[in-house]
Amino acid sequence: MSTDKAAFELTETAFNILIQDIESHGNKPGELQRAALYELLDTLSGYAFGTESGRQAFGLATGAGKTSAVVAFITALHRLGMDGVAMSVAASKVEALCGLKAKLLANGVPEELIGLKHSHGVAASQPSTGNDDRRYQLITHARVRGGTDQDLFIQHQGKKRAVMVFDETLFRSDTFAVSAYSLEFALAGFQVLAKHSGNKYTKLLAYLTQCREMIETGIEEVKAGILDTGEGITINLPVLTQIELDGYAAQLSTSAGGNYEALEDLLHISQNPLRIILTKQQNGVIWFKVSVPEDLKDIVILDASHPIRDLVSLDKTIQTAGSFHNMDVKRFGNVTIHQMLSPGGRTTITKSFKEIRKENRTVSKEIIEAVKANHAAKGILLFTYKKRDTDIEKLLLSDLAEAGIDLNELTADGRKRVNVLSWGNESSLNGLEHCDVVIMAGVLHRNYLDLASTIFGQSEDPGAKVDNTLINQMLNSELAHLIYQGASRGSCRIIDDGQAKPMQLYVIHKGLNIRPIINKVMKGVKWDVWKPLYDPSGSSGVTDLLCLQIDEYLNSLPPETRSISTRQIKVGMSLGEGTVPQTFTNAIRRLDSLSGLWRLEGRSMVSVGNSFPIQT
């Protein structure tokens, strides 16, 4: 059998298995979805027979069947007896890999062909196969980046595997950032500990103090313009022997009485050239190391956020694959995003939940009203921040219960009606597709210094120029990615003949600059105002609604439009006598402060391109 014929047979067999699986769950894939999945399978067949190579990313929509396609492809390899094709699959969570293995076993793929390495023991639903070299190797992202299991997932029986399928975003480097503020704060606490510990920490304290002084000096030199944006930004901290480094690390890890995470992070990267970076939020030092093995050259990345996640585009080893990433494979006309134009960063949300009296917890009260307004919802999914000093989830659930919301209520098919996830689980968990209401109490903001380190790591260029404009752009992209992935835990994940299932999404976020980004991956989605009832910082619903409508109108103008008068906006939007002049003026001013894409200059709105100011 010729290679072309064998590859065609593999693609056809895998596609038939996939469509049968999708339809058996009551889903009806549309023509574009079918075509996109066929192209993905055909690409995998190309890797199997050596006609495809490199790192390629498929940005198909959430719920389109990318992971099911992997199961179908491996099943087809087995059924066709193509024993010479070995591959690996990487995912972020062990249990996701366990689920993948269970599906393969159900499809008749023998257990002895499926490798699954993990350290979760009996907590995992499938046992670990350790270092046993098997044809189809399942492995976590952490092990791919860890540097110790390369032989397991790169090769099989001494020969290179045909391809690795990498589920979700692939970041090529591990990045580290230590802010000057956190370093100073942690060091102050450690000085108190050292003072009351005799001479135990004398040498370690002296070393850390010297490091801090060198970093502060470097920051001041950059501020003064003594160092330019080239090689002078890199600093080298004092050299330690491995014995000293290990001893200092042990001392910090066993110290009591304070949070020394910043000191531990600095010690961890101290023996490498560090880049000083100044941002509008924080100043500090960053470092990165490439963690994805260079030998792992053939990867198919399945990342629904690929079309909008700008950090990914900095990695020039990854190419956008497929003909359908910008097409309407999935439409979101049945989904409405209700956006409250109020601050939704961790600081603001935490401050609200820190209020001792529940009547002063305005964010909680807004969420309670949204839950009550959706009393007919099949399921409700709430997103909150992970616990730090304030347990937001616990307080929110307590407030909901006191407001008469039954937290133990089950749906007709036995699933929980009210569910909670914390940020960090927005792209790794399924099983909540019955939730047709998703409420986000704020959206997680990555800090500027952390983003700067990721930018350097993705571009793999320690000398790259990184300014606040670029960081802002990346932050807005990350915000949109989180909202899209979080929303996709709910019912809109499911596709029926090209349409996402109906869903209501509530988001607390002040900026409008996320809208055009989200619209790229949630095509046809509707936007509405979530009018605050208790938050005094919120604007009137009428002003916010008009602000959103003006923003939508401006973003629909031809790309070459650089300026448009407010009078032309009124005419173009057919805003007649029914619009109060002061309301229009207030809406224009509010848009000026929230958009990031348009700025008010005199009596005109001027396009500012990609300057993307951040709202926190």
> What tens digit of pLDDT does each residue of 485-511 get?
999 999 999 999 899 999 999 999 988
More confident: 453 or 462: 453
Give the residue-averaged pLDDT of 593-615: 70
CATH 3.40.50.1220 at 3-171+294-320, yes or no: no
3-state secondary structure of 389: coil
Three state DSSP letters for 114-135: EEECCCCHHHCCCCCCCCCCCC
- Cα separation, 24 vs 5, in Å, equals 28
| Structure-token match 């095509």, residue found | 523
- Cα separation, 164 vs 345, in Å, equals 36
Which range (119-133, 214-228, 308-322, 508-522) has the least confidence? 214-228
- Cα separation, 14 vs 40, in Å, equals 11
pLDDT at 554 over 50: yes
User: How many CB atoms within 10 Å of residue 335?
Assistant: 23
Q: Say which amino acid occupies 175.
A: T
Q: What percent of the chain has pLDDT over 70?
A: 94
Reported as half-sphere exposure (CB side, CA atoms, 13 A), residue 160 has a value of 13
Q: Which one, of 547, 557, 551, 548, lies nearest residue 584 by Cα?
A: 547
| E strand map for 537-603 | 563-565, 598-601
Please state the separation of Cα 387 from the chain's center in Å: 19
Give the residue-averaged pLDDT of 191-205: 91
Q: Which one, of 337, 340, 296, 285, lies nearest residue 318 by Cα?
A: 296
More confident: 389 or 596: 389
Q: Are strands 499-500 and 495-496 parallel, antiparallel or unpaired?
A: antiparallel
Q: Give me the pLDDT at residue 510, please.
A: 86
Which range (161-170, 465-474, 512-521, 540-549) has the least confidence? 540-549
pLDDT at 255 over 90: no
pLDDT at 379 over 60: yes
pLDDT at 292 over 70: yes
Strand partners, 87: 136, 163
pLDDT at 259 over 90: no
More confident: 427 or 132: 132
The band of 115, judged by pLDDT with boundaries at 50, 70 and 90, is: very high
Q: Give me the pLDDT at residue 257, please.
A: 63
The band of 614, judged by pLDDT with boundaries at 50, 70 and 90, is: very low
pLDDT at 258 over 90: no
Q: Give me the pLDDT at residue 385, please.
A: 95
Q: Give me the pLDDT at residue 32, please.
A: 92
- Cα separation, 52 vs 71, in Å, equals 20
3-state secondary structure of 139: strand
The band of 414, judged by pLDDT with boundaries at 50, 70 and 90, is: very high
Q: Give me the pLDDT at residue 536, please.
A: 52
pLDDT at 205 over 80: yes
Give the residue-averaged pLDDT of 263-292: 93
Answering whether pTM is above 0.85, one says: yes
Give the residue-averaged pLDDT of 470-488: 95
Q: Give me the pLDDT at residue 175, please.
A: 93
546 Cβ contact partners less than 8 Å away, ≥ 6 residues apart: 579, 583, 584, 587
Domains 3-171+294-320 and 540-616 share a fold: no
Q: What is the pLDDT of residues 309-332, one digit of tens each?
A: 999 999 999 999 988 766 788 999
Residue 356 token pair: 């001792």
254 Cβ contact partners less than 8 Å away, ≥ 6 residues apart: none
- Each domain of the chain, given as residue ranges in start order, spans 3-171+294-320, 174-275, 335-538, 540-616
Please give the order of strands across the beta sheet that includes 283-290: 173-179, 283-290, 274-278, 234-235
Q: Taking the C-alpha atoms of 162, 168, 174 and 178 in order, what is their torsion angle to the nearest 10 degrees?
A: 180
CATH 1.10.10.10 at 335-538, yes or no: no
Q: Give me the pLDDT at residue 540, please.
A: 55
Q: Say which amino acid occupies 132.
A: D
Q: Which one, of 564, 560, 549, 558, lies nearest residue 598 by Cα?
A: 564
User: How many CB atoms within 10 Å of residue 561?
Assistant: 12
Averaged pLDDT score across all residues of the chain: 90
The residue length of the chain stands at: 616
CATH 1.20.1250 at 540-616, yes or no: no
Q: Give me the pLDDT at residue 304, please.
A: 93
Give the residue-averaged pLDDT of 86-97: 95
pLDDT at 231 over 50: no
- Cα separation, 507 vs 532, in Å, equals 12
- Cα separation, 430 vs 418, in Å, equals 15
Q: Give me the pLDDT at residue 610, please.
A: 42
CB 301 within 8 A of CB 56: yes
Residue 498 token pair: 């090209």
N- to C-terminal Cα distance for the chain?
60
